[in-house]
Structure 1
């Protein structure tokens, strides 16, 4: 069984019921999520040995996050306990022409105050095959850029493949700081994952002939983006999710996987969204599973996009789909008919 280590922050997610706005809410649903934790849950659901590494407070609320990961089969043994608080984020789900909103309350969280001595990466990576992190983790500041760099160096020293989802978050850091820090991490990355805007925001590489607000996505523009990223950093593969935003409720969803000068594109799905938060993470989880399963590039991108397409139908951040369900959609069964 392949073993994957993911590293980042897990937070409590609080959202009003249904499609209520923040100002209408009299109570909030509490769940747990974070970019790398979401990937770990996807991989555990696919039968992989997935471990999540973070730092969490030792009190009961920190334990709630640990318990939620364990519920889905994620290995939590390398989670460090300490610090004072668990980060929070609030989600208001959009609908039709009203966009979703996210408000962070994560300053001073346990992971944001972590120090390099908290993590014994040589021990954490024993027996592992893959290491995954996102640009959100170094964006939390403090010692995390240094910790991520140490993790990447040790992962490569122990022969792991490394993936990174750029995941630029303007509420966490500036484009200039993101570009500087991420450029120092990218030489250790084998598989770079990005969305329609990340490469532009972080590295100034934009797709031509594309208007995201109008839902227009040009394939050739993204081939150019992937080629430039590969030339700059030496990635073995670049995966890009292609989201055509028709409205907050309806998107076109596809993806591209680029390697060795060749690009493979998935089918495009018209998605009616139940919850889009975590959609990119479900793509990353699907891609890692496919590549560790030795799928060829076309089959790998088809699986990753089908997995993330299905995630848009699931409430909250975790993608609770099986391999069989993803393969069914990737194989063309997109009718949504009742399975009896």
Structure 2
């Protein structure tokens, strides 16, 4: 088993969720959740008894201090928080929608996180007792300074022998500072040990090849063909980025009449392409955070040195389970997930 903390780095956000099927304005009903891709991972790991710390930035005020206290009570180490700037990031997502949906509205300009610079960090202090660094491609999408900060962070992590994981979250509405992901992400990915995403995000952000018949994310693709593409994408990533030891892909398709289908894959040089069981459901509760929970499950399994097959299935069940939880981060314990695994 690894020793040390898993450090998650990213922007802490408020997700505001109007229910567009109701008159939410007149009712004054506007639910919100504390989240952010990396924080969702950190929260899950803390719940699963893995030493979990989180680095972000928030303004110094009573609201943000209560948020930090809330997260500390959940077991997340918040000692690395930067207290600076004037505002926390917000995004609006109608109930039931996905963050990749056109309906998402971002309100993150000039947030405390967006103003961080590499010179703000004492890397020896940041990485003290840290064995794993996790972040997502949402970070370098914020602005050029944060992209540079991510590059420096992974370089400093690798110089200290720290395992690095990257989630290839692609958010087209965030890449607005004149750079294409292909100009930024490959250089960062070169320092990563675990890269997770899907075949479409990998093409968009790392330039991997994609068969012409997979140009859109449709639910009608044969599973066998998707897995062949997953194998091709995974091999390309391993060949282009020799430091990368694990490549994971998720497949989640929404069927208008029949609900949702979910399965995943994990590629390693030793095991080849491992494929999870397939999970189906007619109804789900919340799409947000499922991918983050999958990443947390991978980290959990690898941290405890479980074999790759068990790690993949644990992560997949955790992610599928998250689809039935109304919040950004999972509330299911390891015991809850293992019960689903047995079924």
Q: Give TM-score scaled by structure 1 length.
A: 0.90
The aligned counterpart of 2:182 is: 179
Equivalent residue for 2:276, pick from 266, 278, 303: 266
Compute the displacement of 1:287 (Å): 0.5
Query: CA separation in 2, counterparts of 1:139 and 1:152?
Result: 16
Query: CA separation in 1, counterparts of 2:162 and 2:26?
Result: 47
2:62 counterpart of 1:52:
no
Equivalent residue for 2:240, pick from 217, 232, 244: 232
SS at match of 2:325: coil
Query: CA separation in 1, counterparts of 2:150 and 2:199?
Result: 24
Q: 1:115 to 1:252 in 2, by over 3 A?
A: same
Bigger drift between 63-72 and 23-32 goes to 23-32
The aligned counterpart of 1:202 is: 205
Bigger drift between 54-63 and 73-82 goes to 54-63
Q: 1:21 to 1:221 in 2, by over 3 A?
A: farther
2:312 counterpart of 1:301:
yes
Q: 1:275 to 1:24 in 2, by over 3 A?
A: farther
Query: CA separation in 1, counterparts of 2:11 and 2:132?
Result: 18
Query: CA separation in 1, counterparts of 2:338 and 2:210?
Result: 30
Equivalent residue for 1:69, pick from 71, 84, 100: 71
> Superposition RMSD on alpha carbons, in Å?
2.2
Query: CA separation in 1, counterparts of 2:9 and 2:162?
Result: 14
Aligned length: 329
The answer as to whether partners of 1:278 and 1:318 remain within 8 angstroms in 2 is yes
Compute the displacement of 1:166 (Å): 1.1
SS at match of 1:43: helix
Compute the displacement of 1:25 (Å): 6.6
Q: 1:45 to 1:215 in 2, by over 3 A?
A: farther
Q: 1:81 to 1:313 in 2, by over 3 A?
A: same
Question: Which consecutive aligned stretches of 4+ in structure 1 deviate over 6 angstroms post-superposition?
Answer: 21-25
Bigger drift between 43-52 and 226-235 goes to 226-235
Compute the displacement of 1:136 (Å): 0.4
Query: CA separation in 2, counterparts of 1:249 and 1:32?
Result: 31
Q: Give TM-score scaled by structure 2 length.
A: 0.90
Compute the displacement of 1:152 (Å): 0.7
For residues 17-60 of structure 1, the C-alpha deviation after alignment (integer angstroms, 9 at most, x for no partner) is 59648778732112210010000001001101100101111112
Equivalent residue for 2:219, pick from 214, 219, 223: 214
Query: CA separation in 2, counterparts of 1:123 and 1:138?
Result: 22
2:6 counterpart of 1:4:
yes
Query: CA separation in 2, counterparts of 1:313 and 1:191?
Result: 27
Unaligned regions of 5+ residues in structure 1, if any? 334-340
SS at match of 1:143: helix
SS at match of 1:47: coil
Equivalent residue for 2:125, pick from 123, 126, 149: 123
The answer as to whether partners of 1:248 and 1:273 remain within 8 angstroms in 2 is no
The answer as to whether partners of 2:199 and 2:229 remain within 8 angstroms in 1 is no
